[in-house]
Structure 1
């Protein structure tokens, strides 16, 4: 998951790495290419080639701001994404090329998903997987998630992974509004059950799974964990075994 930043990159912040500040667009394109290539080459030489590489993190508003910020700089953004993909390809053994993922944060928003991927594909960028974030307090209802999953599968014919998903095991995000499930250990499990059902219902077997973010954290996000404050495992963890394709 290349963030191309010195800190976490997300829709609200896509800051240039300190070392790349002051670069022209052409220099940034080359820097993205070289960094991606060298990183993947290091994995290959260590015998740890990744199965998949994500070019940018939640890039609905672009990356490497201000040069690659969208909607104003779509041409720049597309060139930066292509540079990342080209770098991955140059750093790998061609027989073991990782799949390429493009990740946005619009799990329940069909309109913004359509705008982004229609525009990206107009640049003939070749990638393999669509990644989406889905936090229900930000990204729509489960019905809207299902609608968007079906839309993406039928329209783009690419496998889809929900690469950031979470629900809380105690009251956190829904203190002042109705929650789709109780924010409790059982409600957390029920939520993941429903999300996995949507994945399995996605047409053409293109719903490929979810990544929970984050199962073992601390501080303000600790209610999203798979463990209680004493380290005991919560019921949500059983859902993964239930839905594992064997």
Structure 2
């Protein structure tokens, strides 16, 4: 009887396993074969069971249902020159043309299409996130526009050809940087990625957005990284490069479990044949939020690739058959959001987003721009300058939570963020606590006060805007501390609350970029909060701005102010420095200046 009971239990277990295998559920069994066109150009031939076949036929016959493809900003000057494949370096591999060629083969085999934007001219990986050459020296706002244009151009071309991607990555292994922008500068980092994401959402909001971490383990900072991604990036799923584990996959379970708690999907976007069963079991265990896995370059990568290679002959081996058995075991099917075969381009309705911020801060958007695709989820975050605090929302948003998320947007959004001044010093404002347009924060040229200075880009319209709060109204002296290491004057305008009060102020050469000089302007200031904008007027841009200071934040008659400025001019001249007042040389005598300022 004991032996019979054991047999019955064993039979039940076997039947149960068969029943589980028979339950079809969406699960991705994918591979990244971005090297295939390069290898085929070198004469690569692919075999299975002694028969030469197209690589995609072999993969399809082994249960693979999804293909991942990488692409670069300008592979002609980057990736193609540094390719490991040995293919012709004068061919722009992994550019738009080659992406379209691979997408056609993917669609012809009714597989899912996963497009990976490296956001660089060459390989982007954990410690290698170079700025694309054409983006170098640009402000973050400009880089955001370039990121949007790069992704949108690619997406539009694919959609026009009926080759809609089903999933898209904006950035590859973005553990610490993307396109050279550090995660420590979270707003700038998020702007690059969200600009690319916006281009995808505008193309088709049903396309899934994926963010990738290169080492999803506790000791590699995954939790902190994910918290920043979740708070600042528009995404649908988190994937990881699951090459290594310290405890048989439990580290992956723990880290991706943080994502699943937020009802977001997880997947492995890179692993190798050493751990096929383990990796797939981990992600299958996450149920509907465990989307699946992708083998990275199964034809040629790792010590245990899924093809044996003899010269240019690639033969499917037992490791590829192991992946086939996984697909059969899970009875893997494509998710319903995958659109196999060629598709027709769909025009996505846009919803307007109007935001405004009072003096003292700005608003960050998870999807950058003045419109978003209908049905999107949008997060607005009110960010105060140093010395200010967020006071609350007005318009379509209410409350005092600085971060607000609007889900499933169906109509236009109009929101205003209010800020209030809380600093004790109302006369002194450092450049690091200001709003930038085509301007970069730097600290490399010494001699500045505070943490650094603002480098106005070499273009007309680059600017810095300070939020100030003065106790009294009337005419005020404002000192600007600047450096101009060029040989030419760099003229700027000065505006208060959007109204130009100084049309052109020459900022002369100071000799070196480490030589800081002052100039004074007279502004008519209201009491309370105001914005003061310094904007470049020449193609060479403006000078570096260190700070502004209000010398006399109280009512005085214009003649008294002029006299004080003249006295300062004479003192500075005797110290060997040049001093300018509203762009005018100090060569005039006292009487003529008083006449100018008392008109």
Instruction: Determine the structure 2 residue equivalent to 1:106.
Output: 215
Separation in 2 of the partners of 1:57 and 1:105? 8
> Where do 1:47-66 residues align within 5 Å?
47-65=162-180
**1:111 Cα offset (Å):** 7.0
**Residue 14 (str. 1) matches residue 129 (str. 2):** yes
Instruction: Encode CA deviations 1:70-100: one digit per residue, 9 max, x unaligned.
Output: 22x111001111111111123x245xx3111
Instruction: Determine the structure 1 residue equivalent to 2:236.
Output: 128
**1:106 Cα offset (Å):** 2.5
Separation in 2 of the partners of 1:140 and 1:156? 25
Separation in 1 of the partners of 2:204 and 2:126? 32
**1:46 Cα offset (Å):** 0.5
Paired residues, number: 210
Instruction: Determine the structure 1 residue equivalent to 2:259.
Output: 152
Instruction: Determine the structure 2 residue equivalent to 1:77.
Output: 189
Separation in 1 of the partners of 2:140 and 2:194? 13
> Where do 1:202-221 residues align within 5 Å?
202=286, 204-217=287-300, 221=301
> Where do 1:109-188 residues align within 5 Å?
109=218, 112-123=221-232, 125-136=233-244, 139-141=245-247, 142-153=249-260, 155-167=261-273, 188=274
Contact (CA 8 Å) 1:108, 1:134: kept in 2 or not? no
Q: Which has the larger radius of gyration?
A: 2
* Secondary structure of the structure 1 residue equivalent to 2:175: coil
* Secondary structure of the structure 1 residue equivalent to 2:267: strand
* Secondary structure of the structure 1 residue equivalent to 2:294: strand
Separation in 1 of the partners of 2:204 and 2:285? 35
Instruction: Encode CA deviations 1:2-34: one digit per residue, 9 max, x unaligned.
Output: 111110001111101111112111110110011
**1:159 Cα offset (Å):** 1.3
* Secondary structure of the structure 2 residue equivalent to 1:11: coil
**Residue 39 and residue 121 in structure 1: after superposition, are their counterparts in 2 closer, same or farther (change >3 A)?**
same
Contact (CA 8 Å) 2:124, 2:173: kept in 1 or not? yes
Separation in 2 of the partners of 1:46 and 1:205? 31
**Residue 229 and residue 195 in structure 1: after superposition, are their counterparts in 2 closer, same or farther (change >3 A)?**
same
**1:110 Cα offset (Å):** 7.4
**1:195 Cα offset (Å):** 1.7
**1:112 Cα offset (Å):** 2.1
Contact (CA 8 Å) 1:44, 1:93: kept in 2 or not? no
Greater Cα shift, 226-235 or 17-26: 226-235
Instruction: Determine the structure 2 residue equivalent to 1:235.
Output: 318
Separation in 2 of the partners of 1:31 and 1:120? 21
**Residue 229 and residue 241 in structure 1: after superposition, are their counterparts in 2 closer, same or farther (change >3 A)?**
closer
* Secondary structure of the structure 2 residue equivalent to 1:161: strand
4+ residue runs of structure 1 moved beyond 3 angstroms?
Answer: none
Q: Which has the higher contact order (CA 8 A, sep 6+)?
A: 1
Q: Unaligned stretches of 5+ in structure 2?
A: 1-115, 334-599
Contact (CA 8 Å) 2:172, 2:212: kept in 1 or not? yes
> Where do 1:87-106 residues align within 5 Å?
87-90=199-202, 92-93=203-204, 97-106=206-215
**Residue 152 and residue 121 in structure 1: after superposition, are their counterparts in 2 closer, same or farther (change >3 A)?**
closer
Q: Unaligned stretches of 5+ in structure 1?
A: 168-187
Greater Cα shift, 157-166 or 224-233: 224-233
Greater share of residues in strand: 2
